A and B are shown apart, each in its own frame.
Chain A
Amino acid sequence: MTGIVSFGGYIPRLRLQRKSVAEANSWFNPGLKGQAKGERAICNWDEDAITMAVEAARDALTGIDRAKITQLVLASTTLPFQDRNNATLVAQALTLRHDIQTLDITSSQRAATSALIQALRGLRPGELALVIASEKRRTKAASPQEMAYGDGAAAFVLGTEGVGATFIASESEAVDFVDHFRGQNRDFDYAWEERWIRDEGYNKIVPPVLKRLLDKTKLAGDAIAAFAMPCTLARVVQGIAKRVGIAEERVRDQLGAECGDTGVAHPLVMLAHALEQAKSGERILVATFAQGCDALLFQATDALAKLPKRRGIAGSLARKKAEANYSRFLAFNDIVAIERGMRSEVDKQTALSTLYRKRDMVTSLMGGKCRKCGTVQWPKSNVCVNPNCNEFKSQDDHPFAEQVGRIMSFTADLLTYSPDPPACSGMIQFDEGGRFMADFTDVEAGALKVGTPMQMMFRIKDYDTMRGFVRYFWKAAPAA
């Protein structure tokens, strides 16, 4: 039996209020007022498709032995590197085994569902595959996409044992229907008329695929308990459901009001959200429209309810801060040229040889534990830091990324350059030992207190705008 063993999600904490976007831009595009409802998820300045992928994967790996993961597939059209295996960076951040298969799947909104199909078909008995979808699309100011899109990620652990949702079947169709595209080295999508996309695209391409899937599984539409399919056009999915015999109330909510369409990640975000509410035996149909269609059918098992507690999509949606400052969103995404000041001009070149040598310390947040005195410390070093020990070459690897620490000291720094001042930082001390000075993220300066529990999150440390490199490290955020 092949299927979903575990799943997780990550929606960034900041939620841009669509009203603020419409208010700022309606002088130019009064039509935006029609979309000015609810909020959309936006990345903090230090988040991107990589960092969200890591967070979604950590959530999905709750209770999973990471050493059993033999394959990692990362699906996204917004990966920060065109030539650098992004999935391998994520694998390093997750401290997965070194002898695993890593693969980026990109260049289509179907990337995530196609990645799921590939991974499910290739699974060998006893192995686990990790499929992550993550997306952060840039949009032009005052565009409908700016309103409709959201940032987010979801991750699935696939396997052949302990399956919480059995993979029943999938069906695909490839059609060179270009509803939108993003050319090489272009920042933004270019889209054709919505009515054509609806009538000639969704309505003609998707229903036959769903019908083929139902036919080959000998199921009627009413056998589907939940139908999850992203589409930013109003009521299109309900129409498709009706054509294949799925009742309208079985159509999953698009999460448009609280999150927005997370692109490649969205079918997986919606699937994860459906699984959070699914009962044993229920069938979930997930489909994606993009240059054709992917459709996958799953059936929840008894094991689903036994999964350990996780943040998931519901937890991510609950972990939020309303952002009413549209100008901040524009600055975070480099849509406006904000005066960053001379302090921002420091060269951020990364010595790639140093990063490679210290990849366990920096990318995995791996520390050390002294075999002689038991002192846990970060970074792992040649000489134990315990002043009563100081043994040479005595440390074994000790991971810190999943530990919760507490604030020992802090400040909110308005002098140093930060894309989102003040730059909050402080000493994080871990209960079982170890400490370090860390950047804080997703915090409110006025709410910092000594003793506050903090979790570590994988975030962007610096942008090297001169060379197009992105530097990642771990930061402290309030523990969930």
Chain B
Amino acid sequence: MATGIKDKVAILGMGCSKFGERWDAEADDLIVEAFMEAMQDAGIEKNQIQAAWFSTAIEEQHVGKSGTPLAVALRLPYIPVTRVENFCASGSEAFRGAVYAVASGAVDIALALGVEKLKDTGYGGLPQRGRGHLNNLFIPNMSAPGSFAQLAAAYRAKHGASPEDLKRAMAHISVKSHDNGSRNPKAHLTNKVTEETVLKAPLIAEPLGLYDCCGVSDGAACAIVTTPEIARSLGKRDLVSVKALQLAVSNGVESSHNSWDGSYFATARVASKRAYNEAGIKNPREEVSLMEVHDCFSVTELVTMEDLHISPEGGAIKDVLDGFYDHDGKVPCQIDGGLKCFGHPIGASGLRMLYEMYLQLLGRAGQRQRKDAPRFGLTHNLGGAPQQNVCSVSIVGRYDG
């Protein structure tokens, strides 16, 4: 009988590069930047790492395939390195690989590192590229904002929300993330914006405007994990342990079966329930202290508040506008600025979310530190499109063992 991942693995150290338009840096520069911080934090030697998981998503335009880019960048001593890719949830998948390796007892210390070097396309936004021989023949011509914008039409139709109310709640989400990003020196975007600026911005994909879309950034983030026992033996006092790691993957029901209404993420609802169960959380709205969710677009964050069972169904607009998810609200969401402002270097993003939860749980988040001691930090890392996606929900918390 499976017992779940709860408290079997602790985070020994984490690192994160400065995110942004890193015209100065190649992928290996970003890898080293994040890794050196994590090594210093963990207080170990590189050669103590016994296995690594490496996440990148759009490999055709930066480091290429396989685990070699990580092994070469860090001169890892012929240890196993596995490259993982699961759309924009790749970073969480690297973490899951490393954590499971430690939990299995196969290794004592493992590394998860994600990197993405996106700003070499010559234009703004995500690279436009092929999707495979068969997909190219029928998948509609839509950008990432185009596919996520579809949520808005379906959400309005389902809940009878007015376009104005939805747009205003979406704007509040972006204003809030810019406000949070202004307190984060590693964030890609650190400017505050007003609701008026957001609402008046040019449209990208109806109803998403420029400020409803997250930044396209370069960056790397990493985690070094081990067992709580080994962490203690290495002299660590305050520990952050893994409480839950869940992943749900669409199987075509949303895209081909009429049971889904287009207004929510079926995967997120499943993955979050399983995660709460694994972590022993009964009432997420009361027990989750902080969240970093996959706010690739403001409307994604909005519906995710319901998919994570924090806001009641149809209640996200009200909660958002009430400030429930603001940095000083009941459950702050994107206290580091989120994908929106910290940035979204795809392969690194899941690990960046965990990095922020780790800092917050240890009280090391500087001027954006949540005052009342956080207990559970949730990360939600999504990849794909509303009608077909992968959704990772992870929960980390203070280790009480």
Tell me the A residues contacting B by CB distance below 8 Å. Answer: 341-343, 346-348, 350-351, 354-355, 358, 361-362, 375, 377-379, 381, 385-387, 407-418, 422-423, 425-427, 429, 433-439, 445, 448, 450-451, 461-462, 471, 473
B235 at the A interface (CB under 8 A): no
B228 at the A interface (CB under 8 A): no
Say yes or no: A415 contacts B151, CB within 8 Å. no
Say yes or no: A439 contacts B258, CB within 8 Å. no
Cβ contact of A437, chosen from B130, B133, B140, B143, cutoff 8 A: B140
Contact with A along B256-295 (1 / 0, CB 8 A): 1111011000000000000000000000000000000000
Q: Closest 5 A-B residue pairs measured CB to CB?
A: A413-B146, A411-B149, A409-B150, A351-B133, A415-B143
Say yes or no: B146 contacts A423, CB within 8 Å. yes
Contact with A along B174-210 (1 / 0, CB 8 A): 0000000000000000000000000000111110100
Q: Which residues of A contact B252 (CB under 8 A)?
A: 381, 385
Q: Which residues of A contact B78 (CB under 8 A)?
A: none
- A-B contact list, 20 entries, CB within 8 Å: A346-B129, A375-B257, A378-B256, A381-B252, A386-B257, A387-B257, A408-B262, A409-B150, A409-B151, A409-B262, A410-B150, A413-B205, A416-B142, A422-B205, A423-B140, A425-B141, A434-B258, A436-B138, A436-B255, A437-B387
Q: Which residues of A contact B153 (CB under 8 A)?
A: 407, 409-411, 426, 448, 450
Taken together as a complex, chains A and B put the C-alpha atoms of A448 and B146 apart, in Å, by: 14
B157 at the A interface (CB under 8 A): yes
Say yes or no: B256 contacts A415, CB within 8 Å. no
Say yes or no: A415 contacts B145, CB within 8 Å. yes
B137 at the A interface (CB under 8 A): yes
B121 at the A interface (CB under 8 A): yes
A332 to chain B minimum Cβ distance, whole angstroms, is 16
B210 to chain A minimum Cβ distance, whole angstroms, is 10
Taken together as a complex, chains A and B put the C-alpha atoms of A437 and B257 apart, in Å, by: 12
Tell me the B residues contacting A by CB distance below 8 Å. Answer: 121-123, 125, 128-130, 133-134, 136-147, 149-154, 156-157, 202-206, 208, 252-253, 255-259, 261-262, 386-387
Q: Which residues of A contact B262 (CB under 8 A)?
A: 408-409, 427
B382 to chain A minimum Cβ distance, whole angstroms, is 17
Cβ contact of A411, chosen from B129, B205, B256, cutoff 8 A: B205
Say yes or no: B123 contacts A425, CB within 8 Å. no
Taken together as a complex, chains A and B put the C-alpha atoms of A414 and B141 apart, in Å, by: 11
Q: Which residues of A contact B386 (CB under 8 A)?
A: 409
Taken together as a complex, chains A and B put the C-alpha atoms of A461 and B134 apart, in Å, by: 13
B260 to chain A minimum Cβ distance, whole angstroms, is 9
A342 to chain B minimum Cβ distance, whole angstroms, is 5
- Which residue in chain B gives the minimum CB-CB distance to A432? B258
B149 to chain A minimum Cβ distance, whole angstroms, is 4
Taken together as a complex, chains A and B put the C-alpha atoms of A34 and B273 apart, in Å, by: 72
B162 to chain A minimum Cβ distance, whole angstroms, is 14
A342-B121, A408-B154 in contact; A385/B204 too (CB < 8 A)? no
Say yes or no: A435 contacts B256, CB within 8 Å. yes
Say yes or no: B138 contacts A408, CB within 8 Å. no
- Chain B CB count within 10 A is highest, among A346, A385, A423, A438, for A385
8 extra interchain contacts, Cβ-Cβ under 8 A, other than A346-B128, A375-B257, A415-B205?
A341-B123, A351-B134, A354-B134, A355-B137, A413-B146, A415-B204, A417-B128, A435-B255
Taken together as a complex, chains A and B put the C-alpha atoms of A375 and B149 apart, in Å, by: 28
Taken together as a complex, chains A and B put the C-alpha atoms of A154 and B288 apart, in Å, by: 65
Say yes or no: B258 contacts A387, CB within 8 Å. no
Say yes or no: A426 contacts B121, CB within 8 Å. no
Taken together as a complex, chains A and B put the C-alpha atoms of A302 and B374 apart, in Å, by: 84
Taken together as a complex, chains A and B put the C-alpha atoms of A378 and B256 apart, in Å, by: 6
- Which residue in chain B gives the minimum CB-CB distance to A438? B140
Cβ contact of A450, chosen from B138, B151, B154, cutoff 8 A: B154
Cβ contact of B150, chosen from A341, A426, A439, cutoff 8 A: A426
Say yes or no: B142 contacts A425, CB within 8 Å. yes
Taken together as a complex, chains A and B put the C-alpha atoms of A477 and B156 apart, in Å, by: 22
Say yes or no: B255 contacts A411, CB within 8 Å. no
Say yes or no: B150 contacts A461, CB within 8 Å. no
- Which residue in chain A gives the minimum CB-CB distance to B126? A415
Q: Which residues of A contact B150 (CB under 8 A)?
A: 409-411, 426-427
Q: Which residues of B contact A423 (CB under 8 A)?
A: 140-142, 146
Say yes or no: A437 contacts B129, CB within 8 Å. no
A408-B154, A409-B262, A413-B142 in contact; A385/B256 too (CB < 8 A)? yes
Q: Which residues of B contact A427 (CB under 8 A)?
A: 150, 154, 262, 387
Say yes or no: B123 contacts A409, CB within 8 Å. no
Q: Which residues of B contact A343 (CB under 8 A)?
A: 123, 128
Cβ contact of A414, chosen from B123, B128, B151, B203, cutoff 8 A: B203
Taken together as a complex, chains A and B put the C-alpha atoms of A413 and B207 apart, in Å, by: 9
Q: Which residues of B contact A361 (CB under 8 A)?
A: 138
Taken together as a complex, chains A and B put the C-alpha atoms of A156 and B151 apart, in Å, by: 44
A427 to chain B minimum Cβ distance, whole angstroms, is 6
- Chain A CB count within 10 A is highest, among B129, B139, B152, B253, for B139
Say yes or no: A413 contacts B259, CB within 8 Å. no
A362-B137, A445-B206, A450-B153 in contact; A411/B130 too (CB < 8 A)? no
Taken together as a complex, chains A and B put the C-alpha atoms of A435 and B256 apart, in Å, by: 5
- Chain B CB count within 10 A is highest, among A408, A411, A437, A448, for A411
Say yes or no: B255 contacts A437, CB within 8 Å. yes
B261 to chain A minimum Cβ distance, whole angstroms, is 7
Q: Which residues of A contact B387 (CB under 8 A)?
A: 427, 437
A447 to chain B minimum Cβ distance, whole angstroms, is 12
